[in-house]
Amino acid sequence: MQIQSSSHVHGAHALQGPYSARSQAARPQFSVTGMDDQLDISAAAQAAIEQAEMGDVRTDLVARIKNEIAAGTYETADKLDAALERLLDDVA
C-alpha cells in the first residue's frame, strides 16, 4: 500500500509489480546477533497456568462450553443481555 497523502490511499498491489528491482547491495542488511527473545507472562496468566497444572480446571465445564460453542448454542440473548448490563455497570 502506498500512502501519497492523508486523502489518497492506493489499494493492494500484486507482488510482481509495479516495484522496481533493487540490487542485493542496495538493500539494508540487518543483524540480530546479541539479541535474545524474551517472553513475559503476567501474574494472572502464571496463576492460571499453575491452576491448570494442579488439576483445578473443571474439565467437565470446559468440555460443555466447548461443545456449546461448536454447536452455536453458547451465546444466547439472555447471556448477551447480562454481559451488556455488566459492561454498562462497569462503565457508569
- Quote the CA–CA distance of 86 and 68 in Å, as a whole number: 22
Sequential pLDDT tens for the chain (92 residues): 555 555 555 666 666 655 555 555 556 666 666 677 888 999 999 988 888 888 777 888 989 999 999 999 999 999 999 999 999 999 97
Evaluate whether 65 touches 74 at the Cβ level (below 8 Å).
Answer: yes
Q: State whether residue 7 is helix, strand or coil.
A: coil
Q: Give pLDDT, residue 31.
A: 64
Neighbours of 74 (CB within 10 A): 13
Q: Give pLDDT, residue 26.
A: 59
What's this model's pTM, rounded to 2 decimal places? 0.36
State the cell numbers at 6: 492523508
